[in-house]
Structure 1
């Protein structure tokens, strides 16, 4: 018996993540992996988390740690996030904060909140694969978000047809997959476009804390707050995560937005998983208030060195015609191969002959373009492996 004929039509749009499949390669001997955009587990604050869980399971708090809780999230952690958001220019209250099971859950909820079949989501070209997959389940059309003034609101509206443009999604700092940062003028342009379209802005701040060079740029939500004076008047929704700073395995992220948006997301949380794991939130709160700034400072030093090693190796070993981004932070370098060279074909050859893994760039394009691009992650390899892996790829491209 097959239940396939009973599946909802949206399931036809669901497909396996190329990145999640490639993560399986990490266990294979001899593979140098630039594939998964994952933190180095050697840098996790494991001892601090061990103490935090011991505290959470102590006699005074164990009942709370192991019990059902409110959907909005653990109040002390939400209050810590209020203070954290203030430090990056966003004034908000505890009722503007929702804890989610990673920022990936937030993207799924926001797709569910805004998208009806046929509506338009504006995204980068390329953009984060997890966002494409999260939004795609709600049967939208994707259009390319332009921040250079080449397209006006009327063009987006005309292209949307019978649907509506519901939001612009972007990661303004060190984007996955390109590593690029949207400058101040570009962020202001996104806000202007959203005002003209009367749509939301979803700001993915997953990598915001991992800046290695240059001066910080205010988040889009902070810029909108300076225009409007109150978060309750803002259309920007900020998604944050502890996955890249403290631990991805605990699945703790957050959303900051106007109260009516948070209220709707809370209803979705109640219908989905009731609440994120309380003990994990308690542990993250203790570690965050104990050592967040010093830990992130250590990460910046470690990942800056690895980024520099990758950029230096690319300069030394890549043949003519290969181009790449020079990120100021984050975990990724985006490589453009000469026309006619397929990233997917190169991956197959690389795995077979030189034992190097990466992600072909086509997966990050909603229209499956960008076949001559690849994403390299430098976060989970040491400098020696980075140099060796890039050397192998350079030699392979010359054959």
Structure 2
């Protein structure tokens, strides 16, 4: 019997990321890619990180930087995160913060924490495909969560029971969501919290893009709203906030965090101990030094650049998209979501775009737990300047016109 025959059944639910595969195309000459939702490396605070790593490796600090550490994470960084969360309206102690290897690891841990095979996870239609990838290994059933639909909690609970499980959590990215760029209103967030309360379910709040607001009125995180409802008692809250430095300082260092009630953090720490002991100490030290030194100013400069690129893409779409193509105007983040006329497959369109125009994007079907959304696609504007964006949308327009 070969080894693959011995693999666990859950392996069949694990699929390659379409975005990870598309990123392999970036190095092809002439290729314009709007696929990966990645920061522009030219905007990384590289000099500040070079100084931070050099400082961490001085004789005074190198023993701590290169040694094993506690699973919870580097205390000064957790203290900085607690203060950062306070600025957003969330009162927490460092003990309520766990450092993870990017927020992606947090999603994997939370799937492991809550999901038994057959349990239900409520997700958007569409939703972040990395969340689906993280949860899939724990064999959930997915149900569609659309803020504003006013689906009664009893209907979600009944459908989950018929499927042989319970609703364990609702996963949401309230600000400039990946992939749609849509932001939930305050009323939608409050309604989602009320629904979760009625179901006895957790809320996983993915705050990956929260710092990247360009315009519009800021809305408090769901955790801040719930904590306010519950008299400031974080341990009474069912919302679990997942944050990351990947979209603001550096994705390569893989530093993210979770803020949650004490019992949740305690269990996640046990998972961290079993999985990788702790996130890289030197990366945490460097991240803390850079964040403490320049986070707010650096993020302000990112917002200015990314806003110009968003505006350039919106203008180029208006100039080049044929009739019947629609898109949303995000108030921040990295993405614009397109809906094509019915009957147009974005996967087929991608094949044409690659062959005819050396153009890459992400077909929208990958973001739907039920495999729908064939006529949608995601464009990222974060890693392309205004000239490249204009040329790319012209190429997309040509491909679409040839397909209609």
Secondary structure in 2 matching 1:292: helix
Partner of 2:205: 203
Give the root-mean-square deviation of aligned CA atoms: 0.6
Question: For residues 144 and 111 of structure 1, what CA distance do their matches in structure 2 show?
Answer: 17
Any residues of structure 2 matched to 1:21-60 within 5 Å, and which? 21-60=21-60
- What is residue 363 of structure 1 aligned with on the other side? 366
Residue 8 of structure 1: aligned partner: 8
Number of the residue aligned with 2:73? 73
Structure 2 Cα separation of the partners of residues 325 and 48 of structure 1: 36
Q: Provide Cα deviations, 1:42-84, integer angstroms capped at 9, x if missing partner.
A: 0000000000000000111100000000000000000000000
Q: Deviations over 1:180-204 (max 9, x none)?
A: 0000000001101001101000000
Which one of 213, 216, 219 corresponds to residue 218 of structure 2? Answer: 216
The TM-score with structure 2 as length reference comes to 0.98
Compute the displacement of 1:149 (Å): 3.8
Which sections of structure 1, spanning at least 5 residues, go unmatched? none
The 3-state SS of whatever aligns with 1:157 is helix
Q: Distance in 2 between matches of 1:253 and 1:346?
A: 35
Who is 1:274 aligned against? 277
User: Does residue 137 of structure 2 align to residue 154 of structure 1?
Assistant: no
Give TM-score, length-normalised by structure 1: 0.99
Q: Does 1:227 align with 2:222?
A: no
Alignment of 1:59-98 (within 5 A): 59-98=59-98
Q: Distance in 2 between matches of 1:397 and 1:247?
A: 35
Answering whether residue 219 of structure 2 is matched by residue 240 of structure 1, we say no
CA distance in 1, matches of 2:81, 2:217: 22
**Structure 1 CA distance, aligned partners of 2:391 and 2:63?**
50
Shift of 1:146: 2.6
1:327 alignment partner in structure 2: 330
Match of 1:289 in 2: 292
Structure 1 segments of 4+ aligned residues over 2 angstroms from their partners? none
Asked if 1:340 is matched to 2:347, the reply is no
Shift of 1:2: 2.0
Task: Report the CA distance between 1:148 and its aligned residue.
Answer: 1.2
Task: Show CA shifts across 1:276-318 (max 9, x none).
Answer: 0000000000000000000000000000000000000001110
Tell me the number of residue pairs that the alignment of Structure 1 and Structure 2 aligns.
399
Q: d(CA) in 1 for partners of 2:27 and 2:116?
A: 40
After superposition, give the CA deviation of every residue in 1:220-239 in whole Å (9 maximum; x if it has no partner): 00000110021011000000
CA distance in 2, matches of 1:69, 1:150: 46
Structure 2 Cα separation of the partners of residues 118 and 61 of structure 1? 48
Q: Which residue of 1 aligns with 2:386?
A: 383
Which structure 2 segments of 5+ residues have no match?
none
Distance in 2, Cα, partners of 1:225 & 1:150: 23
Question: Which of 165, 171, 181 does residue 163 from structure 1 map onto?
Answer: 165
SS at match of 1:395: helix
Q: Give the match's secondary structure for 2:338.
A: strand
1:131 aligns with 2:131: yes
Q: Distance in 2 between matches of 1:258 and 1:46?
A: 34
SS in 2 for 1:25: coil
Which residue pairs with 1:188 in the alignment? Answer: 190
Separation of aligned partners in 1, 2:300 and 2:149: 36
SS at match of 2:246: coil
Shift of residue 158, structure 1, vs aligned partner: 1.2
Alignment deviations for residues 72-114 of structure 1 (CA, whole Å, 9 cap, x no partner) = 0000000000000000010000110000000000000000000
Q: What's the CA shift for 1:4?
A: 1.1
Match of 2:109 in 1: 109
Output the CA distance in 1 between the equivalents of 2:146 and 2:314.
27
